[in-house]
Structure 1
């Protein structure tokens, strides 16, 4: 689970300036030598860490799903520190598939795309909490192949593209040979990492290690039923209270604004159902650069594009802003932005103290999936000139 948490975090967005500002330092140096002025004026390109999570949702995988739910925010928080060799920050996108569940269509190979590539953290959380287990036939090769065909992996060689597939049945099941899927992954520059839920040697014997090795990925074995150990700190209650205040700085707008703001609150509640400390970790994520909601929050939307205020219709605004002038609306947005930044700074400062407290603790936080994923991510990210600060 530890590996998985770390994986989720790295998938968020990379901002880079022009073709010469990618994660590939050699390409950057070459471009800078030839076109210095062009690099300055070109609009920044986005560079991505793209992670597809393929989770077995058969009867025996409840522990795996619970680990994914609980450790999403650990992974996200780890990714806030990721950057390219030229100090730009990558953007994270996560996709989610389930397979091996009898509730799924047999014609589709008992496979379902739960979520395409997304950087919406609330949506990712919602989809993870929607998963249930039942049955099944687990076709690893076919679910890998399906994700390769259905997802937009892009063609930027600087992007880090990874599949993490987790399960506990032989990797060889199904009509489609996993070796064929691995060959297709290599063509798309996608690394397949395998996480066997069970004994390490058993995973090797059932081809899970081979499934990873063919694309240069990592094979890992975890105890998916291991109880997650969270460490409570003296700073947790204050961060939780600040999280509630943070929610009040969001100004919903547009056709889905009310619905998305409600989703934000619902995911706070989902985190709380697992454990209070999960709310703390989610609050830390919400105070980071990776938590952006330009499609429904007016503060984020204006920061991304000031012209959005000129395009909004009266009915798109929340009731408290209807009938207001553009200058009054802008002043209201600016006030909420200043309030948000203050709260986010407080949360980050408290989290620094929280992390120091945890580091001094004799206990160690345990999350099998998170640790497995993060180890693979950092290793593979280094080949794209990414690092952690």
Structure 2
């Protein structure tokens, strides 16, 4: 499980240290002299965790891409339980860049924005699976600079903003100095985390560690070609069956509804191509608060604003609801919502048992480093008013 935890541990580290700082701003900025009425009128801004993944897609990086595909759901599932000192739960947005690929424009520095910040987990998965590798020049400083310039990082000081850049060539390549990019990131309160695909000491000598420490980020080195090994559990098959039932609770609507529902199934299939355990992790993500599809699913849309049902044209509804009265549609949506909540609850219950099973069997494997890291992270985070739970 080492290779699974490397990227996840890095994400978890920056998430906890960064988010706890943001949470602290709200928790400690409590002026006792503020009138209750003024406090009630001032609603806190929604908090975000914004992650930009900058992935090297040159010839040797197939293993890195495969790990990213599998580990996406590990990261999402950890972020599901994030909670600030104010009890607020931040929303997660992920952006994706590829760099170092000959198929990309040389004018743009062999860099491409694959996806801007998005909370659409199916779309994020789709874009990861669309990546292919080819030879090219790898300009770390330039891709960091580009992501800082192009993405909407927002101005909320309480948001956690971080970059994960992974690759295996010297961090110093390219016309744009990585130190200038790091300075720019720090000014924007964005943490840069570097993941060197290769020997730990080699990554240090090629400035990958320096690229991280300049912004207070973390440097990690991984064997990107190591095969992902998952621990199968007695609960996996049941969770996969429940995942299929979960899909049946989605009611597509609007011009893109059918395509989005097909995309949902396609990403289940993509996960299955990697390994059965990845399907399980994705199912757990789909049963979490972070998997929301109000733009195409009538259950999520009505949960945000039930008025959407009365506003829809008959042609925007799926065939099974066309010609139905508004009350009939509302009853159908309510039924599907109840079914979904029951299935999601069951998946979460089974996942708790699954995680306990994995933890027990991991004791036989070499994983002390990862366990020590997580313990240290939790200790540091707790000092900054950050908590997480399994509710």
State the TM-score, normalized to the length of structure 1: 0.90
C-alpha distance in structure 1 between counterparts of 2:13 and 2:324, whole Å: 41
C-alpha separation between the residues in 2 aligned to 1:62 and 1:189? 31
For 1:359, the equivalent position in structure 2 comes to: 359
What stretches of structure 1 move > 6 A for 4+ residues in a row? 7-12, 364-367, 370-384
Spell out the pairing of 1:92-103 with structure 2 (5 A cutoff): 92-103=92-103
Pair 1:94–1:362, CA change in 2 (3 A): closer
Post-superposition offset of 1:75:
1.0
Q: Which runs of 5+ in 1 are unaligned?
A: 13-21
**Equivalent of 1:4 in 7, 13, 16:** 7
Alpha-carbon deviations, 1:104-136, whole Å to 9, x = none?
000000000000001110001000000010001
Do the aligned partners of residues 117 and 228 (structure 1) sit closer, same or farther apart at CA in structure 2, a change above 3 Å counting? same
Residue 340 (structure 2) aligns with: 340
Change (3 A) 1:266 1:31: farther
Q: Distance in 2 between matches of 1:303 and 1:281?
A: 25
What is the CA-CA distance between 1:5 and the residue it aligns to? 3.5
Kindly state the Cα deviation for residue 386 of structure 1 after the two structures are TM-superposed: 3.2
**CA contact under 8 A between 1:74 and 1:281: conserved in structure 2?**
yes
2:45 is paired with a residue whose SS is: strand
Task: Give the 5 Å matches for 1:217-228.
Answer: 217-228=217-228
1:44, distance to aligned residue in structure 2 (A) = 5.3
Q: Determine if contact 2:57/2:100 at 8 Å carries over to the other structure.
A: yes
**Where does residue 18 of structure 1 map in the other structure?**
none
Q: Which runs of 5+ in 2 are unaligned?
A: 16-21
- Does the alignment pair 1:154 with 2:154? yes
Note closer, same or farther for the CA distance 1:120–1:162 as it changes in structure 2 (3 Å cut). Answer: same
CA gap 1:69/1:139 in 2 versus in 1, 3 angstroms? same
The answer on whether the counterparts of 2:10 and 2:220 sit within 8 Å (CA) in structure 1 is no
Cα RMSD of the aligned pairs, angstroms, is: 2.7
Q: 1:182 to 1:374 in 2, by over 3 A?
A: farther
Q: Secondary structure at the match of 2:147?
A: helix
Report if aligned partners of 2:314, 2:322 keep a CA contact under 8 Å in 1: yes
Q: 1:83·1:387 contact (CA, 8 Å) conserved in 2?
A: yes
What is the number of residues matched between the two proteins? Answer: 378
Residues 1:267 and 1:381: Cα distance change in structure 2 (over 3 Å): farther
Q: Conserved in 2, the CA contact under 8 Å of 1:3 and 1:374?
A: no
1:228 deviates by: 1.3
Aligned to 1:52: 52
Whether 2:191 is the aligned partner of 1:191: answer yes
Q: Which residue of 1 aligns with 2:74?
A: 74
Question: 1:239 is matched with which residue?
Answer: 239
Q: Is the 8 A contact 2:101 2:133 kept in 1?
A: yes
In the alignment, what sits opposite 1:24? Answer: 24
Residues 290/249 of structure 1: CA separation in 2 closer, same or farther (3 Å cut): same
Change (3 A) 1:267 1:109: same
Distance between the aligned counterparts of 1:203 and 1:379, measured in 2?
28
Which residue is 1:311 aligned to? 311
- Name the TM-score, length of structure 2 as normaliser: 0.90
- Residues 1:11 and 1:117: Cα distance change in structure 2 (over 3 Å): farther
What SS class does the counterpart of residue 39 from structure 2 fall into?
helix
Residues 187-222 of structure 1: CA distance to partner in whole angstroms, max 9, x if unpaired? 110011111111111111111111111111111111
**1:16-38 Cα deviation digits (max 9, x unpaired):** xxxxxx72355654256414334
Q: What is the distance in 1 between the residues matched to 2:263 and 2:13?
A: 23
Are the structure 2 counterparts of residues 211 and 362 from structure 1 closer, same or farther at C-alpha, using a change threshold of 3 Å?
closer
- Aligned pairs for 1:319-338 within 5 A: 319-338=319-338
Give the aligned partner of residue 87 of structure 1.
87
Helix, strand or coil at the partner of 2:93: strand
Contact persistence 1:51–1:161 (CA under 8 A): yes
